[in-house]
Amino acid sequence: MNRKGIFITATDTAVGKTITTLVLGALLQDRGVEIGVMKPVQCAGNDARFLKRSLSLSDPIEEINPYFAPEPLSPHLAFARQKKTVSIKKIKTIYNKLAANHDLMLVEGAGGLMAPIADRYFVGDLIRELDLEVVIVARLGLGTINHTLLTVRQAREFGLKVVGIIFNEGEKRKKGLPERTNPDAVRMYGNVKILGTIPYLKDLKLSTIRKTVTEMINIRLLMPPVAAEGDRSKQLSDWDKKYLWHPFTQMRDWLKEEPLIIDRGEGSSLIDIRGKRYLDGVSSLWVNVHGHRHKLIDDAIKGQVGRLSHSTLLGLSNTPA
């Protein structure tokens, strides 16, 4: 599928997700991308209304922010205290509606990846269900290497693709050695791209953002890659025919057709590279009964693999280079 959305998460709360969403929205609009914004759950504050107003979005606030709780608490507690149940199905329905009307969606999270939305359901689970790529916002100063690498590792454990890291300066202060070296350290140790740094912005007008930040963020990496996705599909098709043997299929017949390329599994379904779903009727009884990506099973397998040598499951090296 073409990229339809990017999820903006962070290493912690109050790191600068809303400012980052605003900056990315402004830079993408400058390049002719018709963006939409969503804040699925919000606990206190006016982030969603601020983004709607600042980016001149026409979508109703009830769709941009379907769930709001007035207290600045973790979502699972904030909504429980309001006696509200967050419906993931409703969030997905609204997201799909918004995504159909925009070139690209920017979805802002609440807290970090492990912020609980409901019982045993975290922000990272929502990102995976929405099938979004991730931009991680991090602080620039001392301590950010640990927090950022942990967030990158957790994202990969959820099976998410991390597009890159954006550092947010947050406040005006002198840049010491940590601020000058942390981005390179995160890039090297996390094997992740650095998209840039947002400097302290006293004025949040779009004209100021464009003037100040345009050269500091690699917005090209966030553009909807329509052509690139088509190239990916063709490349995978070519590799399939060149390198793979399908023992239960006549190869000469297989080579005449475009191969079915499965991208991921979800429940009892398989999903191909174009987003089309198929009922998985050929997997093991285990998969048919429990479904693909069953959280408890996945967690148990990851925990066991983490005890084995030569494990690269989490995407970060366990030993020095």
Question: What are 307's two structure tokens?
Answer: 């005890």
For 94, counting Cβ atoms within 10 Å of its Cβ (0-12 exposed, 13-18 middle, 19+ buried), the class is buried
Contact 65, 39 (CB under 8 A): yes
Instruction: Find the catalytic residue in 4, 17, 39, 52.
Output: 39
Question: What are 244's two structure tokens?
Answer: 């793979």
Q: At what angle do helices 177-190 and 144-157 cross, to 10 degrees?
A: 20
Closest by CA to 23, choosing from 173, 216, 184, is: 216
Q: Is 39 annotated in the active site? A: yes
Parallel, antiparallel, or unpaired: how do β-strands 116-118 and 121-122 relate? antiparallel
DSSP line for 217-229: B-GGGGS--HHHH
Which ranges of 101-143 does DSSP label H, i.e. alpha helix?
Answer: 123-130
Residue 10 identity: A
3 state DSSP class of 245:
coil
Q: Give Cβ neighbours of residue 49 (< 8 Å, ≥ 6 apart).
A: 61, 65
Query: Largest alpha-carbon pair distance within the chain?
Result: 67
Could you give the residue numbers annotated as active site? 39
